[in-house]
Structure 1
Amino acid sequence: METIISIRNLFFGYRDKMILEDINLDIYEGDYIGIVGPNGSGKSTLIKLMLNILKPVEGEIKLFGQDINRFNEWDKIGYVAQKSNSFNKRFPATVEEVVAMNLYPKVGLFRAIKRSHLELVHNALKIVNMEKYKDRLIGDLSGGQQQRVFIARALVNFPKVIFLDEPTVGIDIKSQEEFYKLLDKLNKEMKITIVMVTHDIGVISDRIKKIVCMGNGKLIIHDENSKMPFEKTIQKIYGDSAKILFHEH
């Protein structure tokens, strides 16, 4: 099983505060990982470090076996940023154009999109069941529909791993369930590794293979080999009074 990401002895912080301390984590091909923890625990920071958006104070990150600072195969990695579905309604781009934006590093910013590239866009939209909306303005779509479009944008380069930062914020319950079913499909049928920051602990706890619980600069990994019950793991992070509300799906 290929190691997608390897993190060793990672530290990150600012001058007056250390946010992550001595983090070690391996993410393997086919993993479906949820990163959970209280606000300010470093969840989004960890993802940004894995994407080389932020630089660690100390430690090592490898992507597909390469040091992150030498890694250049970024088309293997998709990213859906936090609040990416909060588009200004007047933003003058169609769904097709938004998805095609992820091809510009290959095509060139001021070059016309070729038919072969449009086929990639339409295929990505088909996977997320949004092909019929390709000519609609992105700002005219609901939050759930917009989030599907951003998944399509992440898929257009056929990535091996997709990072998502709190992707269901601002989306209604029905759209959230449809969104998680889409992620299940990407992971199980297309074998894409999923790494997601989320607060939806009750929703994801029985559909995700590995949960990374973060708090006080540390992390605890809960998976099928964990001896501690999941609720006890959550209480170590959130406090003894924490309870998990499980959702039916």
Structure 2
Amino acid sequence: MNEFAHNHVRVEIDSSVAVITLARPDKHNAFDLAMAQDLHAAVQRAARGAQSGAVRAIVLAAEGKVFSVGGDLAYFSGSGDRSERMRQVATALHDALELLTTASVPVVSALHGIAAGAGVGLVLAADIVLAGPHAKLRLAYTAGGLSPDCGASWILPRRVGMARAMDLALTNRAVDAIEAEKWGLVSRLTDSDDVVSEARAIARRLAAGPSEAFAATKHLLWTSLDRSFVAHLNSEAEAISRLVDSPDGREGIDAFLAKRAPTFS
């Protein structure tokens, strides 16, 4: 097992799974510039591992009772140039989110407590969102006179529709795990308080799967929202034609015909 500790974010790589953990629990994992840059560096490390084949799945987790309250408002208020400080933090966070959504490996988020503000965007940037019994999502931006960042205003209308997205963004009401699952904000629920262990188990199963197929599937789904149907059909045809003659494609088909479990490379 390899573990890399930044000041506020840890990266642990074990059994081809990279676990990125927010580690500023005394501040409820609030993002100042240092923590945002730490997250970006941690995601970069995991993404490099994905490129080399050392990482085949990523888990997003957090220490403490709160996943993340979002931006560190005290940090912003203490600046002579709040606008520039906010721009720096948002840029670092957005760079991290871009790496997560374009990474070639599946990303699983383990939501064990409340995620607010930027924490919501980080959670929803994952391909699979696992929510524990005490999980809650709350945008909270307009309550502080701000507008959403970290992709929240892009993801929410696509996940829950415009009416619900507007409701969440304008009223800042909290959505618990059960409602979030019904609305499609989270992928699945767990009754366990140890959400991270369950997320790790999901990631380990994904890490043993067909990595090229996962990469192609993830790319197709994330890019589908900005393409015409016909253009997307062409992309699907290109991807499946390439994969059918790949090592994992051959193994998957051979295993199915032989009625045995596949062993992917």
Higher RCO by CA contacts (8 Å cutoff, separation 6 or greater): 1
- The normalised TM-score by structure 1 is 0.27
